[in-house]
Amino acid sequence: MRPETMRIVDDLRDQNILNLEHAKRDNQKIVGMYCAYSPKELVLAAGALPVSLCGTKQEPIAAAEKILPRNICPLIKSSFGFAITDTCPYFRMSDYVIAETTCDGKKKMFEMLKDYKPMHVLHLPQGTNRPGALKWWTDELYLLKSQLEENLGVEISRESLRKAIKLVNKERLAMRKLHELNKVDPAPLSGLDMLTTLWMKGFNVDVEEGIELINQLAEEVEEIVRLGASPFAAGTPRILLTGCPVGLGSEKVLRLLEECGGSVVGLENCSGFKTVDTLVDEDEARDPMEAIAEKYLQIPCSCMSHNEGRFDLIDRMIEEYKVDGVVDLTWQACHTYNVEGELLSRRVKEKYDLPYLHLETDYSTSDLQQLQTRIGAFIELLNRRKA
Amino acid sequence: MITVGIDVGSMTTKAVLLNGHEWSSVIRPTGCSPRQSAREAFDELLLKAGLSAGAISHITGTGYGRIMLDFINNAVTEITCHARGAHYLVEGTDLVIDIGGQDSKVIRTDGQGNVIDFAMNDKCAAGTGRFLQVMASALGADVSELAALSRGAEPVEISNMCTVFAESEVVSLLAQGVTKENIIAGIHRSVARRVAAMAGRLGLGSLVTFTGGVARNAGVKAFLAEELGAEIHVVAASQLAGALGAALLAREMAKD
């Protein structure tokens, strides 16, 4: 059984673009972002609308490959391709773009993308636990703040920052609550519906409205739980999906996992739980900029060394979501997630004795057959263990 | 109870009819219609056994063409089937190395025919039966002659795993005057190394069984033994492990 609210969520894309066009017409400033490290609070505090930018579809990759090397990850190629072919409405409408030095491919790609849009590239520290890391990152956010102020012609006050912090925390709590409903066995919401919901909120114009919608969906899902209903049969293997970012258009692995008889109960990746796991400290005695910096620096991305936070989060999710197997998705040529996969594999097998499947693929459909065999065999293996 | 397993591989279709401890088989080229070749293999199997389709309790399909079959009762991936079939052929197998026409896989099992972990090559033909076929034709030989041709030869280093690049490497080695025999030995070793690296990730088992069409190549088998430092078991019917596993799983399904 599928929640009725999902129909509204399905239509959000068209609705969001329309809303954005109206906002644009009313001289509302729009700031595009690529990555979970972009602090949405600063954009909101500047009175602008933060939107996620396109980068999860195969279509613009061919255009990107005319300029970028072919053997870099599809996310970089897709993001770049969308921008240079002017086929991402969010990019087109953005007055300003925030990017960051996560992986090598991205930071170099942004050096070319800056010719297409005014942009600021945040410099991330290489890890989170060095004494200077937080100071560095706070300074970087201050630099972004002054760039936003200059480019958007506004001043970002402490008050507006505090207001934005509260609003985005509220959004995180709503998404966290929705995600955590899938701790119930069998899961009340399919992984695909979960992804669709988490994904679409990135393109929302009105944050409050988006929170309302997520709350409405969560209420409906709670009702499904009360009725003891689920889109999955009892005993369906419960899977935690981790690894590279997944969005609509690049959901083929998630889709296959559920088509082959699994239930994706948790999304650890940065389109999923990773970003809503922690909140920004609302303590008014603190500098709000530092509080924001602290939260974002905790995001456990594989571009950080070491990335212990990811393993800790996966441990918790394995336990809380009663996971039967872990699937780790690496986009082709994403070295950091690819290498980290070996460490994760050992952890999952040794600490939890759980099956772990590492998949390396791109956005194309050319390997669906092979993926289907791998994923099918993995589900067969999980079913046998559960029997 | 009589059951049938049909393994529709990229190059050959294998069908096994299982009746108690007795079993019979059919192997035919897959060609361009997996559905048709599976149907023909099934009909031939029935004809040989003198049975009608109604006598079969359950049919399980496997292999890359499994999803296209309309006359089977269920489909199971070849990974699960090979594990089961290899255990039936060589009891106690806990590591299955399967090299087929378009992919190679290493399967770790519990020694009872159940999959614990597996690794598979990615979407290219590197280190598969197709790779050997392309190399054979570059050398003007048939794939079935490769093992005999390279017996006792000194393997030359083949550094490219990509089928296309390796083919041009072979051509340039020939131009340098390297003998065909040494090149073939080098190709066998490179296939073995690639698969051994996959096996290394899963941990070497205590009883290694080699299945799939390439298991018929004694050259690859010998290098696998060398690379893994283990004895490699190959049985005459190793190409049928997938279809046999499917027939065994069909029997379990029919009982449930």
- Which CATH number is associated with domain A5-154? 3.40.50.11890
Q: Residues in chain B with pLDDT < 70?
A: 122-123
DSSP alpha helix (H) spans, chain A? 5-10, 12-25, 40-45, 61-64, 74-84, 89-93, 104-113, 133-152, 158-180, 191-200, 207-226, 252-259, 288-297, 308-320, 335-352, 368-386
Tens digit of each residue's pLDDT (9 = 90 or more) over A191-227: 999 999 998 877 888 999 999 999 999 999 999 999 9
Substitution target in B74, B81, B118, B253 with the highest count of A β-carbons within 10 Å is: B118
The whole-number pLDDT of residue B123 equals 62
Please state the domain extents for chain A. Answer: 5-154, 160-386
Q: What is the pTM of this model?
A: 0.94
Contact yes or no for A380 and B115 at CB 8 A: yes
Considering only residues 318 to 357 of chain A, which have any Cβ-Cβ distance to chain B shorter than 8 Å?
349, 355
Whether B99 and B220 have beta carbons less than 8 Å apart is answered as: yes
Residues of B in Cβ contact (< 8 Å) with A367 = 122-123
The whole-number pLDDT of residue A271 equals 87
Mean pLDDT for the stretch of residues A331-357: 96
The whole-number pLDDT of residue B201 equals 85
The whole-number pLDDT of residue A14 equals 83
A358, pLDDT greater than 80: yes
The whole-number pLDDT of residue B90 equals 96
Q: How far is CA B18 from the centre of its chain?
A: 20
Mean pLDDT for the stretch of residues A254-265: 98
What residue has token string 């995600």?
A179
Matching CATH topology for A5-154 and A160-386?
yes
Tens digit of each residue's pLDDT (9 = 90 or more) over A130-169: 999 999 999 999 999 999 999 999 999 999 999 999 999 9
The whole-number pLDDT of residue B186 equals 94
Tell me the domains of chain B and their CATH numbers. Answer: 1-90+240-256 (3.30.420.40), 92-234 (3.30.420.40)
Q: Hey, what are A173's tokens?
A: 């709590």
Which one is predicted more confidently, A17 or A124?
A: A124
Domain covering A160-386 assigned CATH 3.40.50.11900 in the classification? yes
Residues of A in Cβ contact (< 8 Å) with B79 = 373-374, 376-377, 380
Q: What is the mean pLDDT of chain A?
A: 96
ipTM: 0.90
The whole-number pLDDT of residue A328 equals 98
Contact yes or no for A360 and B103 at CB 8 A: no
The whole-number pLDDT of residue B161 equals 75
Contact yes or no for B120 and A384 at CB 8 A: no
DSSP three-state, residue B138: helix
Phi/psi of residue A12, nearest 5 degrees: -60, -35
Q: Using DSSP bridges, classify how beta strands B95-99 and B74-75 pair: parallel, antiparallel or unpaired.
A: unpaired
pLDDT confidence bin for A15, thresholds 50/70/90: confident
Substitution target in A372, A373, A385 with the highest count of B β-carbons within 10 Å is: A373
Q: Angle at which helices B180-202 and B218-228 pack, to 10 degrees? A: 50
Burial A304-330 (b: 16+ CB within 10 A, else e): beebebbbebbeebbeebebbbbbbbb
